[in-house]
Amino acid sequence: MASEDLQNNTPSLTGHEESAGHEEDVLTVSNSKGDTNIVIYRHFCKGCEICVEVCPKGVLKMVVATDRWEGAMVEVVDVEACNACMLCEHQCPDFAIEIYNEKKEKKAKEKKAVA
């Protein structure tokens, strides 16, 4: 299911959506340090390219997806370049992308504890 580009980034399918029956459509790509994970919910992506346009690091690109009526799908091409700015996640109108970064999550918890 994963393309050759994604295989280089060691993607893994997760069971986040088992109850929704879409487990095969959830793709998680992790960087080599393991502190940043990009989760793509393929069944939500409509191929609008907003995420690709807003990514300052060129982490994402659109690829042809003949199994989709939209004809295109977002793909992670350089997870190592991701700085976890979360622009793609926040701009996606279909909630098809989630970014998890241990350092940013830890800082957020520390701020919450101080407040």
Q: Give the tokens for residue 105.
A: 């999550």
What's the average model confidence in pLDDT over 93-108? 89
Report all structural domains of the chain as residue ranges with CATH numbers, in order of start. Answer: 4-114 (3.30.70.20)
Q: Which long-range contacts (CB under 8 A, 24 or more apart) does 4-9 make?
A: 5/75, 5/77, 6/75, 6/76, 6/77, 9/76, 9/77, 9/78, 9/79, 9/80
Least confident of 4-8, 51-55, 63-67, 110-114: 4-8
DSSP 3-state of 76: strand
Q: What is the sign of the dihedral through the CA atoms of 66, 67, 73 and 78? A: negative
pLDDT over 70 (residue 8): no
3-state secondary structure of 108: helix
Is the pLDDT at 17 greater than 50, yes or no?
no
- Residue 45: band (very low, low, confident or very high) from pLDDT cuts 50, 70, 90: very high
Residue 23: pLDDT band by 50, 70, 90 thresholds? low
Distance CA 25, CA 17 (A): 8
Summarised one tens digit per residue, pLDDT across range 54-100 is: 999 999 999 998 887 778 999 999 999 999 999 999 999 999 999 99
Q: pLDDT band at 21, cuts 50/70/90?
A: low
